[in-house]
């Protein structure tokens, strides 16, 4: 009879979890890294609202911090699921992704949703990574 391996919860200093949270931001399951949807929540933005491009860069930075805290790097991210409140913002998301990643880019799904958890948020991203693969061998 085999024993199940325990999931490892990962917390990055720049992506704190609230004591009242009923979810984990990042879990490592063997070599798999699964992350909850990341947003540029109001606590991580200034008083003035940010556009989708700026929010996407904040979100990607949080994802990078979590993957690095788990022992990996951006090259280990292989899949993104991106939720936007306005599909017209797809080019802003793409511009941020192009600045953040290098070819080959992670697989991606882009979906328009009615709304996100806080007003003013325009993008949320789920990310998946593996510690045993790299999209680029030179990373």
Q: Was domain 8-16+23-130 assigned CATH 3.30.1330.40?
A: yes
Identify the CA nearest to 97 among candidates 46, 131, 63, 67: 63
Could you tell me the pLDDT band of residue 139, with boundaries at 50, 70 and 90?
Answer: low
In whole angstroms, what is the distance from residue 7 CA to residue 65 CA?
A: 19
Question: What's the average model confidence in pLDDT over 113-137?
Answer: 93
Q: Specify the length of the chain in residues.
A: 139
Give this prediction's pTM: 0.91
In whole angstroms, what is the distance from residue 11 CA to residue 110 CA?
A: 26
Per-residue pLDDT tens for 51-89?
999 999 999 999 999 999 999 999 999 999 999 999 999
């Amino acid at each position: 009879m085999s024993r199940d391996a325990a999931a490892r919860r990962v917390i990055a200093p720049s992506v704190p979890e609230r004591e009242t949270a009923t979810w984990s931001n990042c879990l490592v399951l063997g070599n798999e890294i699964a992350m909850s949807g990341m947003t540029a929540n109001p606590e991580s933005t200034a008083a003035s609202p940010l556009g989708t491009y700026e929010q996407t860069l904040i979100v990607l930075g949080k994802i990078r911090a979590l993957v690095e805290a788990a022992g990996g790097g951006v090259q280990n991210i292989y899949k993104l699921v991106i939720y936007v409140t306005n599909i017209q913002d797809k080019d802003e998301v793409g511009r941020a992704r192009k600045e953040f990643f290098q070819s080959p880019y992670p697989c991606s799904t882009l979906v328009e949703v009615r709304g996100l958890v806080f007003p003013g948020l325009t993008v949320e991203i789920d990310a998946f990574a593996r510690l045993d693969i790299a999209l680029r061998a030179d990373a």
